[in-house]
Structure 1
Amino acid sequence: MTIRDATPAFWTKASLATRFAVVGGLVLAVFMALAAWLLTDRIRQVVVRNTATAAALYMDSFLHPLVEDHVAGTAPSPAMRRALSEVLPATEMGGRILSYKVWTQGGLIIAASDPDLIGRTFPLSEELSQAWAGRIAAIFEDDAEEEDRAEHALGMPLLEIYSPIRADWTGEIIAVAELYVADPALKADLQAARLTALAGVGGGGLSLGLVLYAIVRQGSRTIDRQRRDLDRRLADMRRLSERNDLLRLQVQEAAGRAAATTEGGLRRIGADLHDGPAQDLAYARLRLDALARTPTPAPEEMAAIQQALDRAMAEIRQISKGLVLPELAHLPAAAIVRLAVEAHQARVPAPVAVELETDGAPPLTPGMRICLYRFVQEGLNNAARHAGGADVAVRLQGGAGMLRLTVADAGAGPTADHAPGLGLQGLRDRVESLGGRFGLERRCGRTELWMEVET
């Protein structure tokens, strides 16, 4: 199974804009979610750090004089205990501090809001280690450690701050203050900042996606329109190729039939010359030989010889007249049709109705001019032989790149085994070699010989 076979039918038939909307929407959604998460996390870190820094500075200024005097002890001094229990709660920051711890080196708690923790040692947490390294550490609503489970059990949003306490002159870190600040407003501010970030990133991403979709959709429509045009042109080219193949076969068949027709025409001309003028000339030759042995030829013999020679000359002229074309160069279609009709009427004095409906003068090739003349010539000859020249009409219609010529009469039409003049097969070959169409049919009691050719 190929990848194309495994592709759903919807995806295969979908436009470029639809594919972009699906794939681009997924990518954009992932990007917006990641960007929103990074932005809100960054905002959380900044807000928590700023709040923690303010609280740490306050506690450092409050605690470090007390801690520096009693850091060696394992329990708070009376002054430290009084300051932490009476003075600190009275301050603005102290009212928000739920509990506190003061750590010394080794994880020992020397002061705490919970008396049970004083003097106990706990493992150093990551935040406590950061504070001993000189950095203020803060976490908001984190999981509880062993020593601060009581604070987290209150169920309030807590800001846990680890602040290093330094000595006045040396700057040495002598203790770490751990504070638990109740700050419901901080949680609300973080939630509002998170929603604002999501709205900003989502709105910006959605706007960008819509703009890009509009651009891709316009391009997709252009591509679809061009693809439809190409498909239509390809179909036209296929039809044209099939038509060219058909015309090529017709031209090849017409060329073969034309060769056979030409050979047949030459045989008919030879037969006409042999059976007509040749017989008269042979008779005149025999009579002349006989007269050569007679001292005084009789006048009637001379008259018979003269009549035979006259008949031979007349037949030769008649045969030649049908073979030789008049000058057709630069003549329009209507003039060629009139010339052929006039030549026929000069031989056969019968009326011929001529109807010419040409829109302008369509361009004609030399082969097309000869074809028009021969078509009218053969059509009128057939009408004279088979219809007696009764009710003969020639109609020429031209325009919109098409030329149609019709010769109609009131006769029954030639029989299947009759081949007069140039012959219907020769006419068909001429017309089809020009890429045209040819027909002989009965319509409304009349015989119509017609041809159509593109100009």
Structure 2
Amino acid sequence: MEKDARAESKNQAFTAQETESPGEPAPVCEVAGNGIRRTRIGGQARELSRSTQFVIVAAVILGLTMFFVGNLVSERIENAAVHSAAEAAAQYMDTFLEPYVQEMSRDNALSAASVQSLDRLAESRSLKQHIVSIKIWRADGTVIYGTNKAITDRKFPLDEITEALKGNVVTDLKDLKEEDENEFERKLNMPLYEIYAPLRDSRTGDIIAVGEFYEKADSLKREINRVRQQVWVDVGTATLAMLTLLFFIVRRSDKIILRQQVALRMRLQEQTRLHLSNAELQHKMATATQEFSRINELTLRRIGADLHDGPAQLLTLILIRLDDLAENCSAVDQESLETIRGAATDALSEVRDLSRGLALPEINDLSLEEELQLVAQRHEQRTGTRVTLTMGRLPEAAPLPLKLCLYRFVQETLNNAFRHANGEGQVIRAQYVDEVLNISVRDGGPGMAQDAMLLDTSGRTRLGLAGLRYRVESLGGLFSIDSSASGTSVNAQFKL
């Protein structure tokens, strides 16, 4: 009836499922609610300390492991106890049964006298305290003797006695099977365990029958439960001890990790503060450098204008007055006046050259290529020498401080090439590769002495090199000089 009720309830549930729409999705609110619950649970789990999270995970893993270990040990102990009890009971029963079955080696049956003797043995008080039922099986599966006379001379399947016919003692502490030959024992309503033991011929040792008997299992079950309880107590105690030890170890490690995290967080904050401070300082330095470059150019322009409007005009006036004096001078004074005129003319020319060199043209709207062509052209016009330009691909646009720096760099190095190498082999090379701008000015002169490239002594040449280096490095560039007997190359490199 119970099985029918369960089957009917399953059928009703299946019918109810079929009445629903198979393609209808779950309600949106239900899906959202599940997602919110999972998020909330995940957030609560993350809020726990590492030691608590570890104990929870370790408890689950170690608990499952110990559960399987406890089950395995309990099962092994139960099997060992049952088998040991069965071996002892089999030895005990063999002593009583084997003398009565020796005649089966000749007739394959029991005589009436043997049956009566077995009945008296089964009814004896000493045996009945432990053994409640006895059966003797023939090798073909026929019960030739049984406490339950209703199954005597009946044949049953050989499944029960197969192992015993091979010489093994077989025992079972589980519930009795739903078979006719166990009906008498099931009606006793008490815990039993059945034992199958081979019965042998006393002369040859051959198995001539199988003895089956049912022994009361009350004391055995109590002993097994006691041992099983002890096993679980030991397993639980060991598990709890391991969890406690692991908890304190992980808790100590967690405290160390927390202290290190606090220290690292403080260091990170300090590093962040220093990084921001350095970035601010770098920004101020870059701004100051650009402002200094602008002010420097304005100063140079003002000096150039002052030279043009001051000394140049005075020298021009001197030359005019000398022309007036020359008309009224004697032949002896004429030679002195010519000497003064030549010196004044040279001074005026040099002042004008200095003025033109200090005053930059308007280069803000020029590209780098046009700027390099302009500075080379002006140098050629002023010195009468030739400058070769070798230019690769250059950036389309560049900031004004960089343009001013490049103009002054090329202008000063070309002046040095004209002054020290007589303008021989003057070459300007410029290329832009992998976001790096390389500018170099080379001449074909005899090169520079090693001490001439030092920047720690005075002198016009060294002051010019120092100014070039400071100008390039103030914009974050790299400055270098390569000099040999075949010429000198002054290089500047900027990462854009």
Q: Could you tell which deviates more after superposition, 140-149 or 128-137?
A: 140-149
Which residues of 2 match residues 365-444 of structure 1 at below 5 A? none
Structure 2: distance between partners of 1:262 and 1:141: 106
2:174 to 141, 147, 156: 141
Residue 96 of structure 1: how far off its partner (Å): 1.3
Cα offset for 1:215? Answer: 1.5
Question: What displacement does 1:222 show?
Answer: 2.0
Correspondence for 1:249: 283
Contact 1:98 1:180 in 2 (8 A): yes
Structure 2 unaligned regions, length at least 5: 1-35, 306-473, 475-496
1:132 counterpart residue number:
165
Task: State the partner residue of 1:151.
Answer: 185
Cα deviation for residue 14 of structure 1 reads 4.3
Residue deviations 1:232-271, cap 9 Å, x none? 3223222221221111111222334445667788999999
Aligned equivalent of 1:181: 215
Structure 2 counterpart of 1:221? 255
Cα displacement string for residues 114-157 of structure 1 (whole angstroms, at most 9, x for unaligned residues): 1111101100224x211111010111133323311221232211
Q: Which residues in structure 2 correspond to 1:20-419 (within 5 Å)?
A: 20-70=54-104, 72=107, 74=109, 76-82=111-117, 84-90=118-124, 92-126=126-160, 128-144=161-177, 145-258=179-292
Deviation at 1:21, TM superposition (A): 1.7
CA displacement, residues 46-71 of structure 1 (integer Å, 9 cap, x when unaligned): 11111111111111111111111246
Letter of the aligned partner of 1:189 in structure 2?
Answer: E
- The answer to whether the 8 Å contact 2:168/2:197 transfers is yes
Identify unmatched segments of 5+ residues in structure 1: 272-432, 434-455
Kept in 2: contact 1:32–1:201 (CA 8 A): yes
| Distance in 1 (alpha carbons) for counterparts of 2:186 and 2:93 | 21
Confirm or deny: 8 A CA contact 1:74 1:119 kept in the other structure. no
SS in structure 2 opposite 1:186?
A: helix
* C-alpha separation in 2, matches of 1:105 and 1:177: 11
* TM-score between both structures, scaled by the size of structure 2: 0.50
CA distance in 1, matches of 2:91, 2:269: 82
Contact 1:73 1:110 in 2 (8 A): no
Could you say if the C-alpha distance between residues 76 and 22 of structure 1 is closer, same or farther in structure 2, counting changes exceeding 3 Å?
A: farther
Conserved 8 A contact 2:86-2:171:
yes
Aligned partners of 1:258 and 1:221: how far apart in 2? 54
In the TM superposition, what whole-angstrom CA distance separates every residue of 1:57-110 from its partner, at most 9, and x where no partner exists? 11111111111124635555223422x222344363442111110001111111
Counterpart AA for 1:138: T
* SS at structure 1 position matched to 2:155: coil
**Letter of the 2:168 counterpart:** R
Aligned residues: 287
| Alpha-carbon offset, residue 159 of structure 1 | 1.6
Contact 2:173 2:192 (8 Å CA) reproduced: yes
Note if contact 1:89-1:95 (Cα within 8 Å) is conserved in structure 2. no
Does the CA contact (< 8 Å) of 2:132 and 2:214 recur in 1?
yes
1:182-221 Cα shifts (integer Å, max 9, x gaps): 1311111111111111111111122112212222222233
* Matched AA of 1:35: V
The answer to whether the 8 Å contact 1:165/1:175 transfers is yes
Q: TM-score, normalised by structure 1?
A: 0.54
Distance 1:101 1:141, change over 3 A: same
What is the distance in 2 between the residues matched to 1:46 and 1:212? 34
Matching residue of 1:355: none
- The amino acid of 2:248's aligned partner reads A
- CA distance in 2: counterparts of 1:32 and 1:155, whole angstroms: 35
Are the structure 2 counterparts of residues 62 and 143 from structure 1 closer, same or farther at C-alpha, using a change threshold of 3 Å? Answer: closer
Give the equivalent residue in structure 2 for 1:9. 43
Q: Deviations over 1:422-451 (max 9, x none)?
A: xxxxxxxxxxx9xxxxxxxxxxxxxxxxxx
CA apart distance, 1:23: 2.0
Q: Take 2:43 and 2:111, find their aligned partners in 1: how far apart are those partners? A: 78
What do residues 353-412 of structure 1 show as CA deviations (whole Å, max 9, x unaligned)?
xxxxxxxxxxxxxxxxxxxxxxxxxxxxxxxxxxxxxxxxxxxxxxxxxxxxxxxxxxxx
CA RMSD of aligned residues (A): 4.1
Comparing 169-178 with 90-99, greater Cα deviation is found at: 90-99
Q: Is the 8 A contact 2:142 2:156 kept in 1?
A: yes
Alpha-carbon contact 2:103-2:109 (below 8 Å) kept? no
